[in-house]
Structure 1
Amino acid sequence: MIKVLIVEDDPMVAFINKQYLDKIGNIKALGPVTDEEEIIEILEKEKIDLILLDVFLPKKNGIEILKSLRIKKYLVDVIIISAANSSDEIKKAFAYGTVDYLIKPFNYERFEESINKYKLRYEILNKELDIKQGDIDSLYSKHIKGYDVPKGLNKLTLDKIIKILEADYNKMWSVREIAFNLNISNVTVKKYMDYLEEIDKIFVETTYGNVGRPEFKYKLKNSINKN
């Protein structure tokens, strides 16, 4: 389970962020806290994977806190969530190692995209086996480029399915496994897999159980991001 520390001085925003994290699932949210001392106190006690960090805080600017954490050798991942939108602040944030920057106000879909992308990063960088180039490439991919989602399918859902497949390029995924990860029906997943098969973006393997009923398993083709 990923541990996320919320650093935010607005109780309502902190509450919304926690609600969003709970909705995404498999995340333990801590906080909120509002200053560097509290952050470090928690980092010394807990293995925090990700900090959601505001910029406008009562005691010290969030960008300066991020800089200070790096100087003190805390390598915890950080996503900035703030109304601060000057190019100087954003450049500094990325220079100090933030993995994403969300400008308030933002919608749930953008928040979910950021957290799911972080989850992929977390899974890849915490592998026990050696990391492959394809794993790193998947962190920066835009998924399928230049495609039109047909009527009846949703691009956001398709992107979520592709992210699942990208989590392990060598794994053959069943419809049931994908449906379980995304909390959607098997029938819905099968529609998207049929579409990906139709546009030649996945390999399909058919196996038969004891009762002779076929089960389909899928994995991405390496060319999926090379259109």
Structure 2
Amino acid sequence: MIRVLVVDDDVRVAHNHHKLVETLDGFESVGMAHTARNALEMVEELRPDLVLLDIYLPDESGVTVLRRLRGAAHALDVLVITAMRDAETVQASMQTGAVHYLLKPFPFSELRDRLQRYAEARSALDSVTEAEQSDVDRVYGLLRAQETTAAPASLPKGLSQVTAQLVVDTLRAADTDLSAVELGSRAGLSRVSARRYLDHLATIGTVELRMRYGSAGRPEHRYRWVGEHGSPRTR
């Protein structure tokens, strides 16, 4: 069984995640924490295999908790679940070893998918004594987002992979079209920066660009996620 500790300042959200974990074969929710201090105490006491960690906590940042967990007495993994979309927090979480970074709000199917992928990755490692490159590739592939959710691997000069993934995740989570201003506000980016990434994604076909015409002034650019099966567009 994969023992899971749920950490979220919102009691209702923590309970919902706890219930979801309990529905999955091979998983057991061993507890819920609502503060950073409580989370660190429960990790030491319960020794979970996986922590579902919110970044926003009332007493301390989840990023700080994540860094402290790297020095825990036993090995464990962390799946970040948060509404914080700024590139700095995303990058800090990745650099500190989070296996996933899931942005709120999301359908439960998204969390279920990531937990199942995590279980598959653990199982893949348990089945070998000495890993070949193909084993490593498979494990890391399972731990990363699905192909249709990933930011493009090749980016123009001046664009970063971390910020591109943030833009992709923000647009997908919106489930509607957004302007560069709206996306920038949600992701913690300037309008100009958001527009650069959105225009690139529109060029390669993963984002659809629509023009909204008002009663006066220039038309507004609206962007909608269409996934990897979109086609390149010219504007």
What is the TM-score with the length of structure 1 in the denominator?
Answer: 0.57
Matching residue of 1:29 = 29
Q: Rate the CA distance shift 1:101–1:12 in 2: closer, same or farther, 3 A.
A: same
Amino acid at match of 1:29: S
Structure 1's unaligned 5+ residue stretches are 147-227
Shift of 1:71: 4.5
1:82 aligns to 2:82 (yes or no): yes
Report if the CA contact (8 A) 1:55-1:80 is conserved. Answer: yes
CA distance in 1, matches of 2:89, 2:31: 24
CA distance in 1, matches of 2:35, 2:75: 17
Report if the CA contact (8 A) 2:33-2:42 is conserved. Answer: no
Matching residue of 1:124 = 124
Structure 2's unaligned 5+ residue stretches are 149-235
Matching residue of 1:133 = 133
Q: What SS class does the counterpart of residue 85 from structure 1 fall into?
A: coil
Matching residue of 1:57 = 57
Report if the CA contact (8 A) 1:124-1:131 is conserved. Answer: no
Report if the CA contact (8 A) 2:55-2:81 is conserved. Answer: yes
Q: Rate the CA distance shift 1:47–1:88 in 2: closer, same or farther, 3 A.
A: same
The CA RMSD over aligned residues, in Å, is: 2.6
Report if the CA contact (8 A) 1:9-1:32 is conserved. Answer: no
Identity of paired residues, percent? 28
CA distance in 1, matches of 2:27, 2:140: 23
Q: What SS class does the counterpart of residue 113 from structure 1 fall into?
A: helix
CA distance in 2, matches of 1:94, 1:28: 25
Shift of 1:31: 2.1
Q: Rate the CA distance shift 1:37–1:141 in 2: closer, same or farther, 3 A.
A: closer
Where do residues 138-157 of structure 1 align in structure 2 (5 Å cutoff)?
138-141=138-141
Shift of 1:73: 6.0
Amino acid at match of 1:99: V
CA distance in 2, matches of 1:128, 1:73: 25
Where do residues 97-108 of structure 1 align in structure 2 (5 Å cutoff)?
97-108=97-108
Number of aligned residue pairs: give it.
146
Q: What SS class does the counterpart of residue 66 from structure 1 fall into?
A: helix
CA distance in 2, matches of 1:71, 1:21: 25
CA distance in 2, matches of 1:27, 1:72: 21
Q: Rate the CA distance shift 1:26–1:11 in 2: closer, same or farther, 3 A.
A: same
Amino acid at match of 1:118: Y
After superposition, what is the alpha-carbon deviation per residue over 1:173-199, rounded to whole angstroms, capped at 9, x for unaligned?
A: xxxxxxxxxxxxxxxxxxxxxxxxxxx
What is the TM-score with the length of structure 2 in the denominator?
Answer: 0.55
CA distance in 2, matches of 1:137, 1:66: 25
Greater mean deviation of Cα atoms: 129-138 or 80-89: 129-138
Matching residue of 1:5 = 5
Amino acid at match of 1:98: A
Shift of 1:132: 2.9
Shift of 1:145: 8.0
CA distance in 2, matches of 1:57, 1:13: 13
After superposition, what is the alpha-carbon deviation per residue over 1:90-120, rounded to whole angstroms, capped at 9, x for unaligned?
A: 0000000000011000112211111011101
Amino acid at match of 2:5: L
CA distance in 2, matches of 1:23, 1:45: 24
After superposition, what is the alpha-carbon deviation per residue over 1:12-55, rounded to whole angstroms, capped at 9, x for unaligned?
A: 11121122212222211022112343333333333311000001
CA distance in 2, matches of 1:57, 1:77: 19
After superposition, what is the alpha-carbon deviation per residue over 1:166-221, rounded to whole angstroms, capped at 9, x for unaligned?
A: xxxxxxxxxxxxxxxxxxxxxxxxxxxxxxxxxxxxxxxxxxxxxxxxxxxxxxxx
